[in-house]
Amino acid sequence: MTASADSGQDGFTTESKRLLDPIDRISEILFGLLMAVTIVGSLSIATAGRDEVRTVLVGALGCNLAWGLVDAVMYLVRQLTEKTRNDALVRQLRSADGPTAQRIIARALPAGVSPLVGPAEIAAMHARLLALPVGRPRLDGQDFLAAFGVFLLVVVATFPVVLPFLLLSDLPTAMKFSRYVTVAMLYAAGHGLGRHAGHPRPFVTGVLMALLGVALILAIMALGG
């Protein structure tokens, strides 16, 4: 049983009330950012003209638009799959006796949660699950809104990377600022992940994520970017 499986159905978790949790949000931004910087990094500073720069920037935006659409659709598929699984679980519990139902619930719990939950908690979950309405699993407005959020995060992550090329006429300078922005965004993403994970020093995860970005940029440069 995942947090999203109970979304909008009961009070099991407040996390499910969010459209996207912090890990989802940061992950989508990272996907879009890394894809954009990889495409932009394919520019050859020595030979690129304005037409080539424009082509690459349009390509970066188009690629992230396509990826954002695919990722949004897959988010909806994942949500519907989890709702269907949750509905099947409720139906299974309704036809099982008490001890069997509690064993089913215990097996469905995440591995990190199962050792922390005792018979009383499982019995309470059983009662709440039995109170859930059984119907045809379907996507709701919140699911589509979250999918749209996934799409926007992937696409918006493109703009900080390409903005220097739109504002600066000197290509080497624009490339340099684009890479600086990329590293700064990677640090911010790593810092956010560290805070969400409860890391005592989230700046460490930020630095590690930024170093990953530097390694990627250096690899792109070595390949002729």
pLDDT of the residue at 42: 66
Determine the Cα–Cα distance for residues 135 and 91; give it in Å rounded to an integer: 10
Q: Which two tokens stand for residue 102?
A: 């509690």
Give pLDDT < 70 ranges for the chain. Answer: 1-19, 41-51, 217, 220-221, 223-225
Predicted pLDDT of residue 69:
93
162 sits in which H/E element: helix 159-167
Give DSSP secondary structure letters for 81-128.
Answer: HHHHHHHHHHHHHHTS-HHHHHHHHHHHS-TTTGGG--HHHHHHHHHH
Cβ(106)–Cβ(117) below 8 Å: yes
Predicted local distance difference test score (pLDDT) of residue 15:
39
The model's pTM: 0.70
Backbone angles phi, psi at 95, to 5 degrees: -100, 5
Q: Per the structure, how many domains does the chain have?
A: 1
Alpha-carbon dihedral angle through residues 166, 49, 36, 194, given to the nearest 10 degrees: -70
Q: CA 12, CA 214: separation in Å to the nearest integer?
A: 41
Query: Which range of residues forms the domain containing residue 166?
Result: 4-222
